[in-house]
Amino acid sequence: MAQYSRVRGSVALLRLTNPPVNALSAAVSRDLERAVRSACADSAVRVLVLRGHGGTFCGGADIRELAGLVDVPFRVGVSSLVALVDAVEAAEKPVVAAIEGVALGGGLELALGCHFRIAHGQARLGLPEVTLGLLPAAGGTQRLPRLVGFPAALELVATGRDVSAEEALALGLVDHVTDGDVEEAAVEFARRVADEPLASRRLSTRPPPRPADLDTLLQVALERAQRRARGALAPVACVQAVRAAATLPFTQGLQLEQELMAALLPSNQARAMQYCFFAQRIVGKWSLPGGANWRNSPARAVSRAAVIGLGTMGRGIAVSLVRAGIPVVAMETDEKQLRVVTAMLEREAAKQRRSPDSYLQLVQFTLERRDLGDADLVVEAVFEDLALKKRLFAELSSSCRPDTLLCSNTSALDVDALAAATRRPELVVGMHFFAPAHVMKLLEVVCGARSSPVAVATAMQLGKRLGKVSVAVANCPGFAGNRMLKPYVEQASFLLEEGATPQQVDAVLEDFGFAMGVFRMSDLSGLDVGWRVREEAGLAGPTVPPGESARRRHGCRYSPLADLLCEHGRLGQKTGRGWYLYEGPGGRAATPDPWLHDFLDQYRRRHGLRPRRIDQQEVLERCLYALANEGFRILEEGVAAGPEDIDTIYVLGYGWPAHRGGPMYHVAAVGLPAVLSRLEHFRRLHPDVPQLRPSALLRHLVAEGSPPISRWRELLKGLRSQL
């Protein structure tokens, strides 16, 4: 796990070995500590270099131990890591960290215990513990501000953002960056500093910097963390721990860090976030009914891509591809959109500290379909109209290379219908990006009935290359994410009919932790999007069969409220009014609109609906349980392979709070029998709402004694699977 060998006579080279990411389990930490002590005791050694095996320094403490997934009490893991970092820092001989790949979490804390840090130019460094519902508890919150100052330390610890080697150098987090061999550079560096005094290099003994405005800075950071946390405990605890570095001596700061960690570690929030971490890895292990899977189906290389349509989605997709270094041919007729995407690329280049040209030269704009001919993969991102897309796919099928993958960014339309329009249905898949596509981390890869393993593998792999988490789902209207959104939005509308207001419903959902309540979200994405879909489905507008009553469709309850707002020209933020009022078209600040309240009153009177007081619990249960119930149906039909897929989609694509794990994790945590009983209750009250009828899978799981969510995937294998 950790050995040392002597190089160049007096340098002890310690190699941390625990593939795949050299995680610091309790045993590995203890082993490394022993190796450090032996090297220090070796009289032939003057200086130590610490590196990781296999191109990675260290991915941090072993999350499986922290999450209680292996049989090691988490306190043992924490204390072993603390002891290791302390021993490294206390060493009487200089210790140089040679960082390549990543130094994350406990890995960076270990590097902070070293007296010097050398990084490879491609390395990334950070303290992502907050994303696991934790804080850095091996002295990271106390050492980091002493090294890089409070503003940077507060930001890095509270957000979990990782930094490039270049930024780390600018912050003072590392002493030197090399693009050559990091071990060689570190050994060379170590020989130069072998005789340097170490007192000032031990961060625990350094006085923290004290800028004049420190108190204000700490107060602002705490308030910001509280505001942004949306109920999550860890970001606030992170700021409290870093603040202790300003007010307490090192050992007392460390003590507070440990106490905060002891409170976070066993919390439900930390459990939920660690579940999310592993869920996001599980979803990469896809399989198809024929036996093809992530292991046996290699992806095809994508060295050139094409994007058709540079509207909101297309331009985000183009930027993502360019940022990943993939040359893009972008087809768009509207010159305004070309200017927008050029400006976006310039901004992105500046953010990545790259020259604008390095990005712009990767894009070729075109009006000609023949210019797409050479692409390995085409992503279509035109208007959401099935006939238009089918025509386009038929044309692409004749004009592109026979092996080019044809992908659609549709958010709900039938991928099999698109495939059937081509002469290569096996090379057609859905690649459903989420807006803004260069920011959102989720990609739904929609596997059509005829999509080949290579098409699925390539789309999944491309998502990863773009820095996204790819989730494979089967083809059905709305796929997994948007399909589950429908009953959720419907319940919210029914609640308005029954007496709630948009701000009441949104406040409950935002208190739960959603980034945005359902009505604010709908205003942001535009009410006309759903209106068009409902018109196509014969639910709204001229396609509704004559004689159908306003509040019923196909014998079931229907709320026409959103359609009525659209008919009044209230399309959301873009028109300056929707469920809320905005400063003007394109405005962002939502305020309650008296017009809307009058409109709701009149609507209720017109339909003989007597408004009643609706409490928070009913809002939450009806919206969230209806959504999760659809999730069970999706699992039952094999549209998604397991609860982890659904939860990943909701956390990364729909603003579901990670500290609540995702919709399926949430209902499992509430308790399946309780959820079933509430759904049955609501179903009795609303017999004309089929979405409230508990799914067969939910009933089955309850009948089986509510097995833990970690077992559902296995149980589902016995059911009908499309994946």
Ligand X SMILES: CC/C=C/CC(=O)SCCNC(=O)CCNC(=O)[C@H](O)C(C)(C)COP(=O)(O)OP(=O)(O)OC[C@H]1O[C@@H](n2cnc3c(N)ncnc32)[C@H](O)[C@@H]1OP(=O)(O)O
Q: 124-126 and 162-164 as β-strands: parallel, antiparallel, unpaired?
A: antiparallel
Interface with ligand X, residue 78, by CB under 6 A:
yes
Q: Is 190 in the site for ligand X (CB under 6 A)?
A: no
Considering the candidates 89, 100, 129, 621, report the single residue annotated as catalytic: 129
Distance of alpha carbon 245 from alpha carbon 595, whole angstroms: 52
Interacting residue with ligand X among 47, 132, 407, 701 (CB under 6 A) = 132
61 binds ligand X (CB under 6 A): yes
279/539 with CB nearer ligand X = 279
Q: Quote the least distance from Cβ 2 to ligand X, whole Å.
A: 16
Site membership for ligand X, residue 21 (CB under 6 A): yes
User: Is 133 one of the binding residues for ligand X (CB under 6 A)?
Assistant: no
Among 91, 110, 137, 689, binds ligand X (CB under 6 A): 137
Range in contact with ligand X (rule: CB under 6 A) among 20-28, 45-53, 307-315, 321-329: 20-28
- CA pair distance 496, 468, nearest whole angstrom: 36
Question: Which window, 19-27, 576-584, 589-597, 642-650, contacts ligand X (CB under 6 A)?
Answer: 19-27
Q: For residues 53 and 577, which CB has a smaller minimum distance to ligand X in the complex? A: 53
CB 139 within 8 A of CB 86: yes
Q: By CB under 6 A, tell whether 20 contacts ligand X.
A: yes
Using the minimum distance from each CB to ligand X, give the nearer residue, 62 or 528. 62
Rounded Cα gap, residues 238 and 485, in angstroms? 33
Dist CA 201 CA 94 (whole Å): 9
Q: Does 75 bind ligand X (CB under 6 A)?
A: no
Any contact of residue 81 with ligand X (CB under 6 A)? yes
**263 counts as binding ligand X under rule CB under 6 A:** no
643 neighbors 662 (Cβ within 8 angstroms)? yes
Contact pick of 36, 102, 341, 489 for ligand X (by CB under 6 A) = 102
Q: Which residue type is seen at 12?
A: A
Task: Specify the residue, 699 or 713, whose C-beta has the smaller distance to ligand X.
Answer: 713
CA proximity to 452, closest of 600, 269, 568, 289 = 289
For residue 593 the two structure tokens come to 């609109």
The one segment of 60-68, 175-183, 455-463, 562-570 that binds ligand X by CB under 6 A: 60-68
Does 64 interact with ligand X (rule: CB under 6 A)?
Answer: yes
Contact flag: residue 713 with ligand X (CB under 6 A)? no
* Local structure of residue 291 (DSSP, 8 states): S
Among 104, 119, 186, 379, binds ligand X (CB under 6 A): 104
Beta strand 116-120 pairing with 176-178 = parallel
Residue 129 is a catalytic residue:
yes
Which residues, 6 or more positions from 308, have their beta carbon under 8 angstroms from its beta carbon? Answer: 314, 331, 332, 372, 378, 379, 380, 381, 382, 392
**DSSP secondary structure string, 47-81?**
EEEEEEGGG-SB--B-HHHHTT-SSS-HHHHHHHH
The residue among 392 and 443 lying less far from ligand X, judged by its C-beta, is: 443
Give the strand pairing for 552-553 and 556-557. antiparallel
Burial environment of residue 683 by CB neighbours within 10 A (0 to 12, 13 to 18, 19 or more): middle
SS3 readout for 43-56: CCCCEEEEEEHHHC
Q: How far is the CB of 135 from ligand X (least distance, A)?
A: 8
The question of whether 109 is a catalytic residue gets the answer yes
Identify the burial level of 715 via C-beta atoms within 10 angstroms of its C-beta, where 0-12 means exposed, 13-18 middle and 19 or more buried.
middle
260 lines the binding site for ligand X (CB under 6 A): no
Q: Which is nearer to ligand X, 66 or 313 (CB)?
A: 66
What is the size of the binding site for ligand X (CB under 6 A)? 25
Catalytic residue among 89, 109, 332, 380: 109
**Binding footprint of ligand X on the chain (CB under 6 A):** 20-21, 23, 59-64, 78, 81-82, 102, 104-106, 128-129, 132, 134, 136-138, 278, 281
Residues recognised as catalytic: 109, 129
